[in-house]
Amino acid sequence: MKIRVFFVSAILILTGAQATTKASGSGTYSIPELVSFTFTPSEIDLIGPSTLVSFELMVKHPIGIESTRVKVDLTSAKGNTLSVNLNRIDSPINFNLKTVTFKGLLEIPRNVKNESYAVVSESVVGIAPIGSTSSPRSPKFTVTNKLNDIIGAEYDLIIRSGGYLDFDYATFVGPSHATTFTVQREYPKLSQYKSPIWKVGEFYSPRDYYELKVPGLDLEIRSKDIKVCTSDGKTLKFISEGDCYFTVSTPKTKNYSYKEDNQLATISKARIQQELTTENILNQKALNLPKQIKIPRVYSSSQGYITPANLTPQICLASEGYVNIFSGGTCKYTYQALETSEFLASKIYELSFDILRDSQTITFTPPATAKLSAKTLALSATASGGGVITYQTTSAGICSITGSTLNLLKGGNCVITATQAGSATLAPISTTATIMIAGSVATTKKTITCVMGNKTKKVSGTNPKCSKGYKVKR
């Protein structure tokens, strides 16, 4: 009989993650920790030579490891299993080793199912502290290093056949109209959509009610009774009353097996479009603004009284039963009943009425003629309602306007428009006058000096130029 003696120091110094502790009859003790868990290759294809997969498990414990062998189980989503025993590599076995490595080889059988296999080791037993009645036992270990980008199988052994994995994975979840609160909480998208409208004439898109767990896959939909509902593969259309049986699925790919969800919906008669009754409003006078007038209320069977949408808020603001008027002009607003599960939205009803502003007069009598030599002319006009007058001209090149000053540019007819923009209660007004600008701009001559070698000569004129061979003296 061999006797193993263990020495335990009063203080243990651990590196890496802090060891988990458990309570025992004599105090607390650590359980074995995972250092690394790997295997290679991580992906094989059965259409090929026999393959050995090498496993390595490294664990640590502050006193030592009692286990001499660790079993590793490989399990697929369909329940198919493989297993391999990993043995300690320290020889002779040293139970005082704080870090121990286990290794083993698994020959993949040719008749194994091509699937994704999750790799899990059994518990590892550590050396019990002095005075303890039980040995510390680790949890089961799993691979922690990501091995591939296959969602749902990132840490698994991938076994293919001719390139196909046939991974039995729930590639999508839903629908939102038939899922529990727990599922909706885990997948928030499922709680964002209202229930479908199961009525003739409506459409059903699976992407509105299902959530893909594997981005890039296509959600397909098929009808099982084309008399009630038809499908183009992407969308379902309800064409008559009755029971609509349909299937939502993702196709088989190189990685994933075919997945489907079967649903039944009872289709009822089509929704009808709501009709509204509205009344025209008589034109109003722009007196005592701002003011409020009463208007008939508009009612819909789906939402009761409807609040109008404003189209001209600078002139008026419509609300349920009233219109607040701020200015003269045309007041416009609309009504529409929104769609519900029982009714289609109504058409948009637009109503309008005029707020008639008081008219005003404008006096603008500039002189009929002006001499070009004067260069400018002051403009003056008045409106019966008061207010600022603005001036514009359409005679570009003949005259221009700066504020209330007319600039005389050359001879010809200068057309000027005087405008008073109006106010909330006064209508705008404008009038046009024509001034004949007489005369012409005096010709200005200038003289330049031209040179050619030692020769110079002067040339005068409105636009003097040097003769051939001469240059302008700078």
48 and 145 in a single domain? The answer is: yes
What range does the domain containing 184 cover? 172-267
Q: Indicate the pLDDT class of residue 130, thresholds 50, 70 and 90.
A: confident
Average pLDDT on 95-100 reads 96
* 238 pLDDT more than 50: yes
Question: Residue 23: which residues within 8 A CB-CB, separation 6 or more?
Answer: none
Average pLDDT on 281-285 reads 94
40 and 139 in a single domain? The answer is: yes
Domain-located, residue 404 = yes
What's the CATH number where 380 sits?
2.60.40
State the average pLDDT for the chain: 90
**First-to-final CA distance of the chain:** 122
pLDDT at residue 10, as a whole number: 28
* pTM reported for the whole predicted model: 0.63
Number of domains in the chain: 5
Domain-located, residue 385 = yes
45 and 152 in a single domain? The answer is: yes
Q: Indicate the pLDDT class of residue 291, thresholds 50, 70 and 90.
A: very high
pLDDT tens across 210-223, in order? 999 999 999 999 99
Average pLDDT on 145-161 reads 96
Domain-located, residue 238 = yes
Distance CA 17, CA 126 (A): 17
Domain-located, residue 199 = yes
Domain-located, residue 15 = no
412 and 431 in a single domain? The answer is: yes
45 and 127 in a single domain? The answer is: yes
pLDDT at residue 165, as a whole number: 96
Domain finish residue from 97, 131, 160: 160
Domain finish residue from 356, 389, 418: 356
Cα radius of gyration rounded to whole Å, the chain = 46
Q: What percent of the chain is helix, strand and coil (3-state, nearest 5)?
A: 5, 45, 50
* 160 pLDDT more than 80: yes
* 337 pLDDT more than 80: yes
Q: Minimal CA–CA distance to 296: which of 274, 316, 320, 275?
A: 320
Domain finish residue from 160, 180, 197: 160
449 and 434 in a single domain? The answer is: no
66 and 149 in a single domain? The answer is: yes
342 and 389 in a single domain? The answer is: no
329 and 421 in a single domain? The answer is: no
Distance CA 233, CA 219 (A): 9
pLDDT at residue 23, as a whole number: 41
306 and 433 in a single domain? The answer is: no
419 and 300 in a single domain? The answer is: no
Domain-located, residue 3 = no
pLDDT at residue 365, as a whole number: 95
Question: In 10 A of CB 286, how many CB atoms?
Answer: 22
Average pLDDT on 62-79 reads 96
Question: Taking the C-alpha atoms of 240, 243, 244 and 247 in order, what is their torsion angle to the nearest 10 degrees?
Answer: -170
pLDDT at residue 194, as a whole number: 77
Domain-located, residue 9 = no
Domain-located, residue 387 = yes
448 and 430 in a single domain? The answer is: no
In the chain, the percentage of residues whose pLDDT exceeds 90 is 76
Average pLDDT on 290-297 reads 94
